[in-house]
Amino acid sequence: MDDERSGGLSPTSLSGKRILFGVTGSIAAYKAAGWVRELTTRSALVTVIMTAAAKRFVSAMTFGALSGNRVYSDMFAEQPEELMAHITLSREADVLLIAPATAHTISRLACGMADDLLSTVVLAAKIPIVVCPAMNTAMYSHPATRQNIDRLRELGYHVVPADSGELACGEEGSGRLPEWEIVQEKLIALFCPQDLLGKRIVITAGPTRESLDPARYLSNRSSGKMGYALARTAARRGAEVTLVSGPVALAAPHGVTTIQVVTAQQMHAQVLELSGAADIIVKAAAVSDFKPTTYRSQKIKKAQGFTSIAVEENPDILAELGRKRRKGSLLIGFAAESRNHEAEGRRKLLQKKADLVVVNDIMGSKTGFDVETNQVILVDAEKSKQLPLLSKEETANRIWDHILTL
């Protein structure tokens, strides 16, 4: 299956992408209507093909209204522009998404049948095809269905495994249409150059918390957004990503192994354990440099008088990685600076023996902690490169682009 890929920077959205959306006769067709809405709100261009059975669940008018385009279903339609629809539709699309995909449609595609418009388009298509099975658990686990799904994978189609949970028929088990976010990630990844394919990448994100007593801790303003954007974008570009995250209010990125930690000590232990097998380590976490010398097992009372906190240093994980890293691996640090940005970045590059330091200004209202954007300086052994103000996701893609030049 020769995938067509868009050139240029990895897109962080589906804007402008032409999605040919096949809908088949499952009760989950109503969810597909919501997915069309999700796509059009992201400025994707959606054209829907329905099987006859799909129209028994949701009307073509619904999909026409949501997509803003005519809906195709009949192979032998009268209108002239539809005469060659089975050829032209896929030529004018970037990806074919079939959701929900019934057991019947899956079996027809596995045999290469062309008995309706959708199955004929599949055979004529030269674009990536994503299939989302949805059916009753017994049907989904039936050997015939399993064989057909395996066959689709052999044909190079991207099958998104069904979800588990309560089904429309009231039974529990696998066979549910997956969550939209998972399918969206799959679609975005299809348009990303897989230039990090096979790379084992460890990323740290978020703050750490150093407890003082059962109620209080030392921490910082890191939200994890920068590190999570790095993890999400690396996974889309084919990397095998492990994210070691301090406590944040973000959902774990799809397709990423996320390990939650709280203290700098725990982050230190996890990262050192993972570092031996990593090709690239990116330290975006805001690790607390200090922790209270004493942990009070009871909540400190005001009456006890509380005027100072004795602290001691936490391990410098980046510095230790710089001393111990595997030959051939890459080590990327971040620098949260309020002044002398480039000089401080270069000092840390040398002092910590890193290959790249990403410097961000924590005083700006649109850069650094807990904002959606960042404006960083990339400092490596040869040069410094100032990036413009970008979303953290686009900043992450630029960081990966730069890492690939090292």
Report, as residue numbers or ranges, the catalytic residues: 169
Shortest separation between residue 239's beta carbon and ligand PMT, angstroms = 19
- Provide, rounded to whole angstroms, the least separation between the CB of residue 357 and ligand PMT: 8
What strands, in cross-sheet order, belong to the sheet with 18-23? Answer: 45-50, 18-23, 95-101, 129-133, 158-159
- Which DSSP state fits 300? P
Give 335: exposed, middle or buried? Use CB within 10 Å, 0-12, 13-18, 19+.
Answer: buried
The smaller minimum CB distance to ligand PMT, of residues 20 and 286, is found at 286
Q: Are 210 and 288 in contact (CB under 8 A)?
A: yes
Q: For residues 172 and 162, give the distance between their C-alpha atoms in angstroms, rounded to a whole number.
A: 13
Which residue, 82 or 337, has its beta carbon nearer to ligand PMT? 337
25/368 with CB nearer ligand PMT: 368
Contact residues for ligand PMT, defined by CB under 6 A? 206, 222-227, 264, 283-287, 289, 314, 316-318, 333-336, 348, 360, 362, 368-370
- Contact by Cβ (8 Å): 284, 274: no
CA 355 to CA 383: how far, in whole Å? 11
Q: How far is the CB of 398 from ligand PMT (least distance, A)?
A: 13
In the bound complex, what is the minimum distance in angstroms from residue 290's beta carbon to ligand PMT?
Answer: 9
User: Which of residues 300 and 390 has its CB atom nearest to ligand PMT in the complex?
Assistant: 390
Q: What residues are paired with 165 via a beta bridge?
A: 173
Closer by beta carbon to ligand PMT, 232 or else 283: 283
Nearer to ligand PMT by Cβ, of 17 and 352: the residue is 352
Q: How is residue 225 written in tokens?
A: 């957004």
Q: With H, G, I as helix, E, B as strand and everything else as coil, classify residue 66.
A: helix
State the minimum distance, in angstroms, from the CB of residue 220 to ligand PMT: 8
* Distance in angstroms (rounded) separating the CA atoms of residues 253 and 201: 14
Distance CA 271, CA 210 (A): 18
Q: Compute the distance between CA of residue 354 and CA of residue 356 in angstroms, rounded to an integer.
A: 6
375 CB-contact burial (10 Å; exposed 0-12 / middle 13-18 / buried 19+): middle
Across 219-294, the runs of DSSP E, i.e. the strands, are: 240-245, 257-260, 280-283, 290-292
My answer on whether omega of the bond before 161 falls inside 30° of 0, hence cis, is no
Is the CB of 180 or the CB of 290 nearer to ligand PMT? Answer: 290
Q: In 10 A of CB 65, how many CB atoms?
A: 13
Q: CA 26 to CA 99: how far, in whole Å?
A: 9
* Minimum CB–partner distance for residue 271 and ligand PMT (Å): 8
Q: Shortest approach of ligand PMT to residue 278 CB, angstroms?
A: 14
